[in-house]
Amino acid sequence: EAPSIVSERTMSDYYRVAGEERHLRSDKWDTEAAQRAGEIVRREVAESHNTRVAQSIQSRRSAGGE
């Protein structure tokens, strides 16, 4: 917690000290924990998508589509 954060400006100042610059956009900042959480979510979403695609392909093959 950072009680000194009371505005967008003070939050930005805080992240410039406590956070790390994001690789995609240099004007955005995240803490290391937020970056790790984002990586986990992106990986889980990609895995879920890949699973759905594979299931769809298998379903079409089973139905005689290929």
Q: What is the pLDDT of residues 23-45, one digit of tens each?
A: 555 556 677 888 889 899 999 99
- Range 54-64 average pLDDT: 85
Secondary structure (DSSP) of 24-61: S-TT-EE-HHHHHHHHHHHHHHHHHHHHHHHHHHHHHH
Query: Is residue 11 classed exposed, middle or buried when 0-12, 13-18 and 19+ CB atoms within 10 A define those classes?
Result: middle
Query: Is residue 26 classed exposed, middle or buried when 0-12, 13-18 and 19+ CB atoms within 10 A define those classes?
Result: exposed
- pLDDT at site 22: 61
- Provide the whole-model pTM: 0.46
- pLDDT at site 49: 85
